[in-house]
């Protein structure tokens, strides 16, 4: 499995990183700023699922076909694999601001659908996005987690058609590896959830800039723009750096 991940071309497979500040909070007076790291719990048994948390937000992610997976194995690059006796297996990489979940498909006998059952706090729901990704938002419309658009690549570096579907709290990735002639196995496919930062106090600007790896003046500019609209800036490192104003 390590060889399959190492041979994925481009920057699609993330480098393992420890948690970085992502959930941000202040005391009621707004005088104390605290950065809350994203924590990722990767269990020994795939059937236990992956737990990702930041502050008071916790997301439990069930891995696809976990009932056929063996105990976890730690790969040389720092990721965790769940080998399987079937034609597909899971790999998990903590990314600092989230976690990368990879399906490694070893033959045409493997399934084409990979379902991730999500358990999230009350008042949150999963929805598809127009760019082919998905996101978790709360009842006020604030985005808490974003899933980047699906991708899949075969061993020759050729893209394999793939897409997400959302039914309730289940995100399913379909990989059409049987439908394409000449696919070179293994095929690696991925959903990547990232926790999103919402700044609710000026004292958090410097902390947010450090967490996102962007210049402080950029965060200040978004703070001023959003507060002029009586909103707050929502920032993330998805697709480089993205920002918008939310209530």
pLDDT band at residue 221 using 50, 70 and 90 as cut-offs: confident
* Domains of the chain, residue spans: 2-26+37-195, 197-247
**pTM confidence score:** 0.74
- For 46-66, b/e burial (b = at least 16 CB within 10 A) is beebbbbbbbebebebbbbbb
End-to-end Cα, the chain, rounded Å: 43
Per-residue pLDDT tens over the stretch 88-101: 989 888 876 678 88
Nearest CA to 22 out of 227, 170, 212, 228 is that of 212
Give every strand in the sheet of 50-54, ordered side by side. Answer: 39-41, 50-54, 57-61, 113-119, 170-175, 162-167
Alpha carbon distance 121, 22 (integer Å):
17
Q: Is the pLDDT of residue 169 over 90?
A: yes
Asked if 160 and 176 count as a contact pair (C-beta separation under 8 A), the reply is yes
Residue 62's Cα: distance from chain center in Å? 13
pLDDT at 24: 39
Asked if 134 and 126 count as a contact pair (C-beta separation under 8 A), the reply is yes
Per-residue pLDDT tens over the stretch 31-83: 333 444 578 889 999 999 999 887 678 899 999 999 989 899 988 777 888 98
């Amino acid at each position: 499995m390590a060889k399959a991940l190492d041979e994925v071309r481009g920057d699609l497979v993330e480098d393992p990183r420890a948690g970085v500040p992502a959930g941000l909070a202040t005391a009621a007076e707004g005088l104390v700023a605290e950065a809350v790291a994203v924590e990722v719990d990767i269990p020994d048994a795939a059937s236990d699922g992956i737990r990702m948390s930041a502050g008071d937000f916790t997301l439990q992610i069930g891995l696809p076909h976990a009932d056929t997976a063996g105990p976890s194995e730690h790969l040389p690059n720092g990721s965790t694999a769940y080998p399987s006796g079937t034609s597909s297996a899971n790999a998990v990489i903590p990314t600092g601001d989230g976690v990368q979940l990879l399906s490694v498909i070893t033959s045409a006998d493997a399934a084409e659908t990979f379902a991730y059952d999500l358990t999230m706090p009350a008042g949150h729901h999963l929805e598809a996005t127009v760019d082919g990704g998905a996101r978790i938002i709360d009842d006020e419309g604030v985005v808490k987690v974003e899933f980047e658009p699906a991708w899949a690549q075969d061993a020759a570096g050729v893209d394999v058609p793939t897409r997400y579907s959302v039914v309730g709290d289940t995100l399913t990735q379909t990989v059409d590896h049987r439908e394409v002639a000449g696919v070179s196995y293994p095929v690696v496919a991925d959903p990547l959830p990232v926790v999103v930062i919402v700044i609710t106090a000026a004292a958090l600007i410097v902390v947010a800039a450090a967490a996102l790896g962007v210049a402080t003046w950029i965060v200040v500019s978004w703070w001023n723009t959003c507060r002029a609209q009586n909103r707050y800036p929502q920032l993330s490192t998805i697709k480089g750096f993205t920002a918008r104003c939310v209530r």
